[in-house]
Amino acid sequence: MTGKLKIPCTFDYAGSFEGGYAKIRTKKLTGMIMTSGKLIIPAYVMMTFPDPLLFISKREGKFG
């Protein structure tokens, strides 16, 4: 809102923040960041599903 860069432009894609978290993507891998820019899930998983209470990640056919 101030026009100042808050999170460095290091991602190919960054979604909207929901509940303080946003999905990010580099190449074809996804992860999650906080509004501070801190990585919660580094971009090494194939997909992430934000949930109000937890994050579900899928990589190589396995969920965690």
Tens-level pLDDT at each residue, the chain (64 residues): 678 877 778 888 888 888 888 888 888 788 888 888 888 877 776 665 666 556 667 777 777 7
Q: What angle do CA 12, 55, 57 make, to 5 degrees?
A: 65
With contact defined as beta carbons under 8 Å apart, do 14 and 30 qualify?
Answer: no
Interatomic CA distance for residues 44 and 26, integer angstroms? 9
Q: Which residues pair with 62 in a beta bridge?
A: 59
> Looking at the whole model, is its pTM more than 0.75?
no
Instruction: Give the distance, in angstroms, between the CA of residue 44 and the centroid of all CA atoms in the same chain.
Output: 10
